[in-house]
Structure 1
């Protein structure tokens, strides 16, 4: 994978400097009112979106991280400056992964106002129609959680800017504005520059039987396509929930308060209803004395701290698996076994990678880290806001189904998976409701493995002399997130991805290597002298590929979902179709944790759509 490393930081163009007004920012708990209509725990991608939409009422957002507006956050410049800034993220190790030779994995996420939308790779693509229809199917055929039910919110979430006409024509970039809106202040746009070899790679994908080119990246179909990035095209800055849903708030919305640098410990529950939250400064190590404060909610408490943090808030509030709560000495308010179960994430390091030994000359030095090139690119960007530094992390890719990847084996893989005992590969002693929920997923995901309309394989294209960034979109193993029973409020959660615990994952991932080899050997790409870097030509058997995967696979692309799943309670669900937590009135969850299973795309765009829909659901019941 080629990226421009060692980039000089692009000059800081602060979005706050360009829009003076924003939510009232508070830094001390004693600055709060005693109560608000809505308290939103977490000021990330979903939290700030929901807060913005609810401010006909009084709203308080409490965020563990701080307000940061550094150039690392706002710079587009290949999308990696913010991700490589440890001050903007939480970062701790998972539990050792038995299926990965006992390796631990970094658990990462945005820790700042704006959340992970401020540190991600800025890629804007959505999953397939079948993904969102599957979510609703867990409730029945009339559910509004479907492609048709979410499409208006996908459109509402973004301000779409078409690519430059010359760029689109030169690269055959397809787009269809009917899948997009223009009312949001979160922007989706295109770089002004693309690497020439991308056209060759996109054409080569079309040589594979079954690979199509959808009319738009947002059409809900698998295939090979170009897609925009989350950047505001006028200043050419990252566009995220902070700039779109917090900056620029009208002065009349003085009822919208934001408290940063504070940790919510628990939701306060009285007579079965959420009444507020208790919180302490982020650097506190105890909840005694003046550290601990409370604030009341008149209408609802909305937890929006993400798939890793939301289970901690719920479990710490007495909502979760009874046995775990009792071990932690927490009074059980609602025995809800699904809280913290059903963890899923996209994984990478799962397909063969190649160096092109006959790569065509680039219109820039072949060494993309060349200091001269960087200086020229920087000068062009500073002068005109154009050129290579308008690229975030990627703008085209393949999202392919298992029938395309494994035409001879997909039916047998799906059949073996569907025939499994649903409890066989879940954590020992999983609650019967969690097992029943996985059985429902198993049937639905087996159908997805057989379908031409559901992507399992993602190949990011860089237009570079080394390629092979393959991501698994449809993991079948399920992990857990659990509070530290010895220190439930200040200790770090235990994250266990349980990577490769379901053998069907290996069945699929081995096919990824075979397929990627075919793509680079049997299409026009074979004319550019591809030499396999990993796992290497000498790894020619299934056993060899499995050994390689266990040694190098990473089970997280930082897209975790599922730990507060929107499913019926009898299926291990945590929230209902209104995103209300079972067993407690006035308590909702709005973040990626409610997704019952992963979309066949990265999660940013889907989180925004879920948040937009959630805001309407919450307002409708006020």
Structure 2
């Protein structure tokens, strides 16, 4: 049977939308195929990956009804509590039913430790298991992307050209007047849209200590308070969460771009539980894909489906390079080692891998914390949790509407290291660009990293680019800051012993560039200053790690090697949008170099990380990608 509608009861939402807003309606969505024999032989577009980017692009391509689209997703439809609820949504990171979880390669500069690689594996992808934080990078981040193309021919990716897509991607709902008055929240609707089915909204209350922390951060000289979290400026500010205010449930790509479409679309098919093995080519034109059931271990019974106009890769930063390499697009030596026929020698595939490391500075405990319950203890206090759940179930209000704190500091190097930032930038800029990249890195990839190095050194000297992120949670203990622009670069490659079915080899190569150590020392000194010289000092902060007695730079870095986590689950860069002679994989139209009718639309195209978490940026990229694809249809 082909399912064309899905009832509210099946989604577990009976009564919710009826009681809490105008979204009460039958859910209509893409046609989901239960069997592979229901597939058409050919579609205009085949999209590999039904996650954040894939579903956004599919929605836009099928809206007119004139183009047929097939989305192939490795995971399945999933609507459990960890997916839907705002207040407990981050726990989806620990739910094995909605993700792939596997170890990275051992990290040589982290004492040989491995990291958890987490990839969303369900319809809706990682937008259904993230921390629901909605903030975008700084203007300078997107202007930097554009600068990598000669003569600024990539200006379509600068801030001014990206802002309309940030606005198109989100439906912004202002905070309540009570929330504004109590917390002094600044927002400006000119930076937001109101038409998307992806919602950005606010909880009904805040953890009370958040505003105290935010005020303390603003005591630091140079810390600004932007007019809106979406203004493209660093500083300390409030920001919304990806929550639908009609029911206070998570807003993500599946309800927003799959079961949130206006009417049933017979031209839009989805099939889940299928593993795409490779893209098929005809004279270097992408002709379709081969795939098998997710649980298969052999390609013996692989099926194929054709793409008339384009194959669109949306499998994410970890799996997009794996599939490209398995298809014959990648570094020549890697393809030869794996016995894969080469279609294009493209060394940038799987290179340039980046993520946001966290626990890159000291952690503090406020021993005189003034509130109960501490949000850290929220889920261990049975009485409080039961009361909060009852309030949420009855009224959609209370602590369970708080997704992740809704405030943070994104600070520039001149703010956090006013006497050292120029020295740090100069030392980094003077590096030989090949010195700390993987041995044997192709000269084109080195050239691209050199361009990034010059641009990031400039950003270090700027008050308009954020390097330091402090996630304000309103709790008695803080785990330490996040590094927004790591200078080390890793790799994602196929396992040459089993390129189609083995998990990819993911190497963050954390701290392989010593300039990251310079940043960590600066972060440590600043975080200590934040807790000991601002109004936070009155709450008796104690540095739990590494301890206030650890002051020498070498000792600070050595201690961080034992606890740094190289991923905040914001991986980017493995199919970078840069010129081909700079290690690029896609051009500014997101088309893969050296072939035709193949594009990439996910976070892997991001050349270097924005100074913010990646959810909002990925949605904007997907919206722009859809327009680019439609323009060449």
| TM tier relative to shorter chain | over 0.9
Tell me which residue corresponds to 2:493: 482
**How far, CA to CA, are the matches of 1:86 and 1:254 in structure 2?**
32
Tell me which residue corresponds to 2:340: 330
Tell me which residue corresponds to 2:584: 573
Tell me which residue corresponds to 2:48: 41
- 1:538 deviates by 2.5
Contact persistence 2:84–2:250 (CA under 8 A): yes
Tell me which residue corresponds to 1:564: 575
Runs of 4+ with deviation above 4 angstroms: 14-18, 363-367
Contact persistence 2:83–2:89 (CA under 8 A): no
- 1:19 deviates by 3.6
* Aligned counterpart for 2:282 among listed residues 270, 273, 285: 270
Contact persistence 1:132–1:145 (CA under 8 A): yes
Aligned pairs for 1:334-353 within 5 A: 334-353=344-363
Contact persistence 2:210–2:405 (CA under 8 A): no
Tell me which residue corresponds to 1:406: 417
Aligned pairs for 1:354-433 within 5 A: 354-362=364-372, 368=378, 369-433=380-444
Aligned pairs for 1:293-308 within 5 A: 293-308=303-318
**How far, CA to CA, are the matches of 1:252 and 1:188 in structure 2?**
25
| 1:129 aligned onto 2:139 | yes
**How far, CA to CA, are the matches of 1:540 and 1:489 in structure 2?**
48
- 1:84 deviates by 2.0
| 1:72 aligned onto 2:79 | no
- 1:196 deviates by 1.5
**How far, CA to CA, are the matches of 1:356 and 1:218 in structure 2?**
31
Contact persistence 2:127–2:252 (CA under 8 A): yes
Tell me which residue corresponds to 1:3: none
- 1:416 deviates by 0.5
| 1:105 aligned onto 2:115 | yes
Aligned pairs for 1:233-312 within 5 A: 233-288=245-300, 291-312=301-322
Secondary structure of the residue aligned to 1:82 is: helix
Higher mean displacement: 269-278 or 459-468: 459-468
- 1:394 deviates by 2.4
TM-score, normalised relative to structure 1: 0.96
- 1:367 deviates by 5.0
Tell me which residue corresponds to 2:60: 53
- 1:21 deviates by 1.3
C-alpha root-mean-square deviation of aligned residues, in Å? 1.5
**How far, CA to CA, are the matches of 1:339 and 1:13 in structure 2?**
42
- 1:12 deviates by 4.5
Tell me which residue corresponds to 1:22: 29
Tell me which residue corresponds to 1:161: 173
Tell me which residue corresponds to 2:4: none
Distance 1:250 1:182, change over 3 A: closer
Secondary structure of the residue aligned to 1:434 is: helix
| 1:179 aligned onto 2:186 | no
- 1:80 deviates by 2.2
Secondary structure of the residue aligned to 1:413 is: helix
- 1:588 deviates by 0.1
Secondary structure of the residue aligned to 2:616 is: helix
Contact persistence 2:28–2:264 (CA under 8 A): no
**How far, CA to CA, are the matches of 1:367 and 1:297 in structure 2?**
52
Higher mean displacement: 376-385 or 127-136: 376-385
- 1:17 deviates by 9.4
**How far, CA to CA, are the matches of 1:324 and 1:466 in structure 2?**
45
| 1:13 aligned onto 2:13 | yes
Secondary structure of the residue aligned to 1:77 is: coil
**How far, CA to CA, are the matches of 2:373 and 2:429 in structure 1?**
50
Tell me which residue corresponds to 1:620: 631
Distance 1:45 1:538, change over 3 A: same
**How far, CA to CA, are the matches of 1:459 and 1:72 in structure 2?**
25
Tell me which residue corresponds to 1:6: none
Tell me which residue corresponds to 1:589: 600
Structure 2: tracts of 5 or more residues without a match: 1-10, 18-22
* Aligned counterpart for 1:212 among listed residues 212, 215, 224: 224
Tell me which residue corresponds to 2:104: 94
**How far, CA to CA, are the matches of 1:315 and 1:28 in structure 2?**
28
> May I ask how many residue pairs the two structures share in their alignment?
610
Residue by residue, what CA displacement relative to the aligned partner does 1:430-483 show, whole Å, maximum 9, x if unpaired? 111001000110100100111100000100111111124411101000000010
Distance 1:365 1:597, change over 3 A: closer
| 1:439 aligned onto 2:450 | yes
Tell me which residue corresponds to 2:614: 603
Distance 1:366 1:296, change over 3 A: closer
Tell me which residue corresponds to 1:7: none
**How far, CA to CA, are the matches of 2:179 and 2:518 in structure 1?**
40
Structure 1: tracts of 5 or more residues without a match: 1-10
Contact persistence 2:234–2:412 (CA under 8 A): yes
- 1:200 deviates by 1.3
**How far, CA to CA, are the matches of 1:596 and 1:234 in structure 2?**
36
Tell me which residue corresponds to 1:188: 200
Secondary structure of the residue aligned to 1:22 is: strand
**How far, CA to CA, are the matches of 1:534 and 1:171 in structure 2?**
31
- 1:31 deviates by 1.2
**How far, CA to CA, are the matches of 2:539 and 2:261 in structure 1?**
52
Secondary structure of the residue aligned to 2:339 is: coil
TM-score, normalised relative to structure 2: 0.94
- 1:377 deviates by 0.9
**How far, CA to CA, are the matches of 2:217 and 2:620 in structure 1?**
30
Secondary structure of the residue aligned to 1:421 is: coil
Contact persistence 2:213–2:474 (CA under 8 A): yes
**How far, CA to CA, are the matches of 2:338 and 2:345 in structure 1?**
14
Tell me which residue corresponds to 2:5: none
Tell me which residue corresponds to 1:552: 563
